[in-house]
Amino acid sequence: MADNQFCGFEVFENRVKLEGALISKSGLHVGSGRALDPEASDLPVVKDFSGRPFIPGSSFKGVLRSNLESFLRSLKPKQGVKLVCNPIADGERCVSSEKKKDIFQKATRGEIADPEKEIWKQSCWLCHLFGSPWLASKVKIADMPINGNWRSQMLGVRQGVAIDRESETVGEGPYDFEVVPPETEFKMSIVVENPEPYELGLLMLGFQMFDQGFALLGGNTSRGLGRVEIKLEDILEITPQQILESLNPELEEGAPSEEEQPKITLPEHFQQLVACLKEAAQLNHNGLVASLQTRGWTKQKIREAGFKNFKDLFEKALKDGVIMEKNGFYFLKGKEEMPEEAPKKVDIEQKQRAWLSALARKLKEAVEEESNV
């Protein structure tokens, strides 16, 4: 796939899965907001339904993107090159709401053949990779559970005092917050759909920022918290050709024919639910809705499948035993696995170097020489 070539999710070009561990090198506080329980810590860390701390994929993704944005903003792009925008302010996005409206109006008048391709063309590098209001994200980061044994006694509690900056006196009084101790290991799983080599290079650069201490995760980083290390343990790549090569149409001698074999096929909407929960062991309602939406399941498509809304779909899946729910989180009932797509294991260090080299070449072409890339 050529660089910057438009490739929507309706076409499967390739898929890369990055697996490994995120290891805290200092205390870590990824908060869940103020606690309602008067006996609990004022600021607890986010926990799963069993009480084990975990790192939401969205939290890690947000820090990863913001640090890459800072880096790309420091460069001077050549004329016509869009490295990065401000995704928070609508007027500063590479494709604002007004610009999107104008593109579709031109398409209606026949001035633009494909409005989606035009939006892609006018979007910046990071919106291509991490998504925008008009583009789905290529990067899917699962929630990161603790990898290994965990006891609640391992969780630390630190004290803090809020200071009023104007009066320079104590504000609301003392408070405490929970901290995951150093050397806690979290399981990391990231899937990237249809990535360009330089886009994977951007991810590797982001990982390096964490490893070198330039990117910090969670809250209270000014107190020395948030230092983490990324340890890649496996890289799996899948292409359509690999899937075709893995198929064996010949039946073994004595094996039942396809017609004789029992067929148990879940409806497509349930298959998508299972796929979402296989990527992220557990998800709350909003997380599962967001994951389905990245797979193209809009409210309209849900209604076309015969459901009133996402909640109606989830309740049907619970009733049929496809998924389970506890404390507001959905997860799979058992360990039944869908067939793997013949992933191919590759050399990690070699791939990292290749992706970073692709990024370096891409930046050489995209920025002015004075940027010293």
DSSP 225-272: ---EEEEEEEEEEE-HHHHHHH---PPPTTPPPTTTS------HHHHH
What pLDDT is recorded for position 159? 72
Determine, yes or no, domain membership for 317: no
Q: Give the DSSP H/E element, type plus range, for residue 71.
A: helix 57-73
The DSSP symbol for 80 reads: T
Q: Counting beta carbons within 10 angstroms of the beta carbon of residue 64, is it exposed (0 to 12), middle (13 to 18) or buried (19 or more)?
A: buried
Determine, yes or no, domain membership for 173: yes
Contact 206, 68 (CB under 8 A): yes
Helices (H) and strands (E) in the chain, counts: 11, 12
Contact 282, 49 (CB under 8 A): yes
Closest CA to 220 of 81, 69, 45, 350: 45
Compute φ and ψ for 102, nearest 5 degrees: -65, -40
Q: Is 212 helix (H, G, I), strand (E, B) or coil?
A: coil
Determine, yes or no, domain membership for 319: no
How many whole angstroms separate alpha carbon 59 and alpha carbon 65?
10
185-193: strand order across its sheet: 139-141, 185-193, 15-24, 228-238, 344-345
Beta strands in 103-227 (DSSP E): 139-141, 144-145, 156-164, 169-179, 185-193
Determine, yes or no, domain membership for 205: yes
Place of tokens 């509690």: 157
Domain interval for residue 359: 15-84+124-242+341-371
How many whole angstroms separate alpha carbon 126 and alpha carbon 103?
20
Count Cα neighbours of 146 within 13 Å in the Cβ-side half-sphere: 24
Closest CA to 38 of 218, 133, 176: 176
The residues, ordered by sequence, that sit 6+ positions from 192 with a Cβ below 8 Å of its Cβ are 15, 16, 17, 18, 138, 139, 140, 199, 200, 203
Q: Which residues of the chain have pLDDT under 70?
A: 1-10, 33-42, 160-174, 248-266, 333-346, 370-373
What pLDDT is recorded for position 247? 75
Q: How many domains does the chain have?
A: 1
For 150, the token pair is: 């965990």
Determine, yes or no, domain membership for 290: no
| CA 22 remoteness from chain centre | 14
Determine, yes or no, domain membership for 330: no
Helix axes 310-319, 268-279, angle to 10 degrees: 90
What pLDDT is recorded for position 360? 96
How many whole angstroms separate alpha carbon 132 and alpha carbon 138?
11
Helix axes 285-294, 310-319, angle to 10 degrees: 110
Determine, yes or no, domain membership for 54: yes
Determine, yes or no, domain membership for 56: yes
Beta bridge partners of 110: none
